Amino acid sequence: MTRTTKTRILLASCAALAAACTNGSQGDGSNDPAPQVGNSTGGDDNTFNHPDSEQDPWALLQQLQEQGPPEYSSRVHGCPKMKYATIANVLASRGVNVTNTATNSAGDIYMSSDQALGVANYAARQRENLELTTSAASKLFDIFAAAAPEIIANMSTSPACTVGSVGANVFNSQNQCDADGITCLIGVPATASHVELCNLTVANASDVDTGKRMAVAALLAAAHTCE
């Protein structure tokens, strides 16, 4: 085989390969993804695409106004477990006797559930658990349900829920949920949705007293367990 023949064969092979590439499904580039445009776009001489760090200042301003600065929003949107001592402080400030040893009382469940609630073990050099585990959430639900009757009866006379000489009640004389009482119960301003859901819980229960206990426990759980 002469050199001229070899050259012709190589040229023919290259032409065939070029034609195959041109006729392929992506040869014309019509199916290629659109390149990103920004100061963090990747390329052959760069890394993969990163989120564009050059944001619209007006969009960023709106985000900060709605969500707050990162230092604030990271705390608001986080959901760590409420500390063991804080649980007692919250309950006591709403009229619950956390030292009550009566069986199945809120105080009894609280004091006997320190391990499930992730209390610190100083002898073993273990700090208090900061994450809300399944067992901790279950115990908190039990405590809130047991504490509901005491809260309904005593919250209006607790200093934390009294302004001047007027105390806030979760329910009024018609067994309707009160926005001021809910506000003191959960620690944030009550919305119309809070009041509506509270009233629906009472109305749909087997009896009024059971519904009121369920409503208080549900509001506490929603406020302190991210559920």
Say whether pLDDT at 173 is over 60. Answer: yes
In a domain, 137, yes or no: yes
Cα distances (Å, whole numbers) of residue 223 to 33, 38, 90, 182, 215: 45, 42, 12, 11, 12
Minimum mean pLDDT range among 31-35, 154-158, 180-184, 218-222 = 31-35
**CA–CA dist 26, 32 (Å, integer):** 7
What is the per-residue pLDDT for 25? 45
What is the per-residue pLDDT for 98? 94
What is the per-residue pLDDT for 166? 84
Both structure tokens of 86: 């804080």
In a domain, 69, yes or no: no
In a domain, 70, yes or no: no
The residue behind tokens 């209390």 is: 119
In a domain, 61, yes or no: no
**Closest-CA residue to 216 (of 167, 152, 158):** 152
Looking at residues 111-120, what average pLDDT do you find?
Answer: 91
| Amino acid, res. 117 | L
Cα distances (Å, whole numbers) of residue 123 to 112, 116, 120, 126, 133: 19, 17, 9, 8, 22
What is the per-residue pLDDT for 2? 57
In a domain, 157, yes or no: yes
- Return the beta strands (E) in 154-201 as ranges: 162-163, 166-167
Please give the residue range of the domain that contains residue 209: 84-224
> Number of structural domains, the chain?
1
The mean pLDDT of the chain is 81
In a domain, 73, yes or no: no
Reported as a single tens digit per residue, the pLDDT across 36-94 is 555 555 565 655 555 555 677 888 888 888 878 877 776 666 667 889 999 999 999 99
In a domain, 88, yes or no: yes
In a domain, 63, yes or no: no
DSSP state of 83: P
